[in-house]
Each structure stands twice: as structure tokens, then as C-alpha cells.
Amino acid sequence: QKEVEQDPGPLSVPEGAIVSLNCTYSNSAFQYFMWYRQYSRKGPELLMYTYSSGNKEDGRFTAQVDKSSKYISLFIRDSQPSDSATYLCAMRGGNYGGSQGNLIFGKGTKLSVKP
């Protein structure tokens, strides 16, 4: 079983839809959970990050972490064509140093929001 699993999609939704993106993981030592957004032919950019369990909201974006289920989600409300991108989840353990500090990425979900 891979450490981080993410449905690659592609996912196509109409403008204004609520989008749900998800990742599951197997390593219970993960404590930091991130979502990166990658536009075509660009490097990934950090969208949101959460420490441990709980929710975090930033505008139209909400990140959720359920450590008991080893499951994280990103919700996008009122999706826009400009949200069309690949979304990568990432996570790491609590200790920074050596390999524990490295981010482990999901494979990414390609999202297309149609006008």
C-alpha cells in the first residue's frame, strides 16, 4: 500500500459547483497536511496547510483532516474556471530533520471547471 493515495481524476465540473478532493494515507506519524495547486506547465504552489486534525477555511477553500480515518479533504465552493488545475495533497511527520521532514505527495487530481 502506498503511503498516500489520491484519485487522479480527471474531474470535470460546471462553474459554481462544490468540488471535493480527497487523499488517504497509511502513516499515522503524519501531522502536517498540505494542498498544493499546480497549473499547467507551472510548479506547484501551496494552497493550504493544516496541522493535525480539524478544519481550516480560506475564502472558497476548506481543508479537512480526519486523523482517525487517515483521510484528508479539500472543498472548493462556487468553483471557477480559474480553479482548473491539478491539486496535490502532501503530508509529513512532526519531526523536522532527515527524511521525516520530507513531504510525501499524492499523485494529484486534475480538475477542470467548465464555464
Partner 1 sequence: EAQVTQNPRYLITVTGKKLTVTCSQNMNHEYMSWYRQDPGLGLRQIYYSMNVEVTDKGDVPEGYKVSRKEKRNFPLILESPSPNQTSLYFCASSSTISAEKLFFGSGTQLSVL
Binding site for partner 1 (CB under 8 A): 6, 8, 32, 34, 36, 41-46, 49, 88, 90, 92, 96-99, 101-103, 105-108
Comparison of 39 and 71: residue with beta carbon closer to partner 1: 39
Comparison of 17 and 107: residue with beta carbon closer to partner 1: 107
Radius of gyration of the chain (CA): 14
Nearest approach in angstroms of CB 114 to partner 1 is: 23
Nearest approach in angstroms of CB 93 to partner 1 is: 10
Nearest approach in angstroms of CB 45 to partner 1 is: 7
Comparison of 29 and 103: residue with beta carbon closer to partner 1: 103
